[in-house]
Chain A
Amino acid sequence: MGQFLQQLINGIQIGSIYALIALGYTMVYGIVKLINFAHADIFMFGAYMGFFLAPVMAKIFGGAFIPTIIAAMIITGLLGFIMEKLAYRPLRYKSRLSALITALGVSIFLENFCAMPFIFGPTYRAFPSMIANKNITIPGHLGLVISNVLLLDVGVSVFLMVLLFWFVNKTLMGKQMRAVSFDKPTASLMGINIDVVISTAFIVGPALAGAGGILYGTTYGMLASPFLGIWPGMKAFIAAVLGGIGNIPGAVLGAYVMGISEAFATSVNSNLGYGIAFVILIAILLIRPSGLLGKFVPEKV
């Protein structure tokens, strides 16, 4: 029982980071019907920003974690905004295939540009330790030990998710975003500025991914290379599809399902752990393609 619970907790920790990335995928898809492949690389960029900014923040503010995560979110939000303006806006009313290929191109560009020696370089970096690790033993005979980093991951994730839900459901801009994702042409007829709404989605989504990057760096302590975003990004994308792409609570649900299934599958066999993500993807596409929480919207002819 103890091992089952421990794996469950491991899965929740991984799932929290996936959730932050999946939210970005799902928001952007909901509004512009584009799968932003470069989103995984914004996550990577956020992690590297943490690497570079943490010492600076420690010097200016004393404690490094909160200023670093805020700064990383601002920088990645800005990166998302620039990406949209330069790469996606010119293709907005062209075919979706062009936008998809552009997204792939942006992704490859970001990865390889950052791998150049004068930018981030291809070698690994030891992520600065901003939180001293403390183990907390859960009383009782199950022998569970969790670390304060785990609590931080889940806590920061949940806090940002709650903030997002408030933003989308209780503010005017959130209402505009929901309207645009429901019916874009009509929303523009109602006087909503489509450009502003889309740009906002491309700031909020990447900002969450940036926060995810900082949490990833803090949890694992090492940034392997500028290609580190590919694998978590893929899992987060599957999570978004699992929950229903375009559906925000769905992305969160999907991410936790992915994280927990990964933890359990890896404990059985490490190769199964890698494959389980794709098994889930194939299963959901065969059984319920609109996702767990998504609604099947038939195409009106």
Chain B
Amino acid sequence: MRRVLAVILVCALIAGVGVGCKAKAGVVNLGGIFPMTGASATFGTSSKNGVDMAVEEFNAAGGATIGGVKTTVNYINEDDTGLPEVGASAAQMLINQDHVIGIVGAVMSKVSLAVAPICQAAGVPQISPTSTNVKVTLVGDYIFRACFIDPFQGTVMANYAYNTLKVQTAAVLYDNGNDYNKGLAENFKASFEKLGGKVVAYEAFTDEQKTVDYKAQLTVIKAANPAFLYLPNYYGSVALQLKQAREMGLNAPAGGGDGWDSPDLVKIGGAAVEGGVFSTHFSKDDPAPKVQTFVKAYTAKYGEPPDSMGALAYDAAGLLLDAFKTCGSIKGSDIRDAMKNTTFSGISGAYKFDENRDPIKSAVIIKIVNGQQSFLQTVNP
């Protein structure tokens, strides 16, 4: 009798384990890895909002038909806290435990670089909404991105500084422990010098999550007397850098990249960030009707207008889900092929991937005027 009971219990256990593992028929999982906490937390919140909206619209429009079964998508969001190791373990969990059909993420290039090899090895398509570092898509053919890359971004700001602001000298302060900041700094320096300008100071610090005092580097920069400050860092540290720069009388105009794109830039930096310019992917002031519809819907749902992260995450998820619907299969290789050949038109532009799965897209330049983001111009590649 005891033996029979034991056998029944073991069978029940195995059945129970089996039930938890696979997604139910008719529902597939989509994974997302974003920095929900940490120094770039606003990026994570916006991105998750964007993906949520895309998934909701996809399911409301009828979802996809896989093997004759109407299938909707269930979105699972993971927090990478801004650290590559946490992102990597989140990717493992999403792939092995939740059997996701694809991963939208990450925001930071250094996290995407940690997640990409895992997705590539498992054959799960990954699309990063905002990782701009060149190396990300070079990991493998399952890795895509929805944004422009840093060589382009660095050039955009170098052109703006040299041709529009007409400055001849610039100084750079960047995080040398982060691929994103380093890549942008190098690209800006190369482009600016090619135009004929001179980078008079090229200072570094390590790990913007841990550093609060930039005065030593700013003093060196001030002594070199630059006409323009290039700060290719995330909004938290940029706010501190500009505050400290203005406190020591360093009033040169400042510029940066899409890491500046957060409402908290003004919240932390206050008057010090006034007049700053940065290159990014999307402006809510874009008059195109598609964009305005999206902006209105996002604002109504989340109480604040979308930033680049939200818009790009919405497009990235939309693109992946569109490919999923087109190929009608949950196999990674099919979805990947559909993505490669996509003609998806998102709110941040039309998507056409080059041979490295990087889209050819324009940038917008935004200026901080009276504490608000103000659209300046679009720059086409």
A3 touches B212 (CB 8 A): no
Stretch in contact with the other chain, from A77-85, A118-126, A164-172 = A118-126
Chain A residue with Cβ nearest B244 = A220
Kindly identify which residue among A147, A224, A264 contacts B209, using a CB–CB cutoff of 8 Å. Answer: A224
How distant is the Cα of A260 from the Cα of B212 in the complex, in angstroms? 16
Does B249 belong to the interface (CB within 8 Å)? Answer: yes
Interface size (B, Cβ < 8 Å)?
32
In Å, the complex CA distance between A164 and B37 comes to 40
- Chain A residues positioned under 8 Å from B249 (CB to CB): 135, 137, 143, 145
What is the 8 Å Cβ interface bit string for chain A, positions 128-155, against chain B (1 contact, 0 not)?
0100010101000001011101100000
Q: Which residues of B contact A145 (CB under 8 A)?
A: 247-249
Contact B264 A126 (CB under 8 A): yes
Contact indicator A266/B268 (Cβ below 8 Å): no
Task: Please pick, from B37, B220, B239, the residue contacting A123 in the complex, using a CB distance under 8 A.
Answer: B37
B residues in contact with A263, CB < 8 Å? 215-216, 219
B268 contacts A10, C-beta separation under 8 Å: no
Interface centre among A124, A143, A146, A228 (most CB of B within 10 A): A124
Task: Give the distance in Å from the alpha carbon of A221 to the alpha carbon of B237 in the complex.
Answer: 11
- Asked whether any CB of chain B lies closer than 8 Å to the CB of A98, the reply is no
Is B240 within 8 A of A266, CB to CB? no
> Are A267 and B247 touching (Cβ within 8 A)?
no
Residue-wise interface mask of B (230-247) relative to A, using a CB-CB cutoff of 8 A (1 in contact, 0 not): 000000100110010011
A6 closest partner in B (C-beta): B219
Is the C-beta of B371 less than 8 angstroms from some C-beta in chain A? no
Query: Is A95 located at the chain interface by the 8 A CB criterion?
Result: no
How many A residues touch B, CB cutoff 8 Å? 38
Chain B 265-297: CB-based contact to A (< 8 A → 1; otherwise 0):
001101000000000000000000000000000
CB neighbours (8 Å) of A150 from chain B are 247
**Which one of B122-130, B198-206, B329-337, B361-369 is at the interface?**
B198-206
Is A231 part of the contact surface with B, judged by Cβ < 8 Å? yes
Does B92 interact with chain A (Cβ within 8 Å)? no
Task: Tell me, in angstroms, the Cα distance from A262 to B41 when the chains sit together.
Answer: 30
Q: B38 at interface (Cβ–Cβ under 8 A)?
A: yes
* Interchain CA distance A126-B268 in the complex, whole Å: 5
Interface pair B270/A267, CB less than 8 Å apart:
no
Which residues on A are within 8 Å of B, measured CB to CB? Answer: 2-3, 6-7, 10, 13-14, 122-124, 126, 129, 133, 135, 137, 143, 145-147, 149-150, 220-222, 224, 228, 231, 262-267, 269-271, 273-274
Interface residues of B (CB under 8 A from A): 37-39, 41, 176, 203-206, 209-210, 212-213, 215-217, 219-220, 222-223, 236, 239-240, 243, 246-249, 264, 267-268, 270
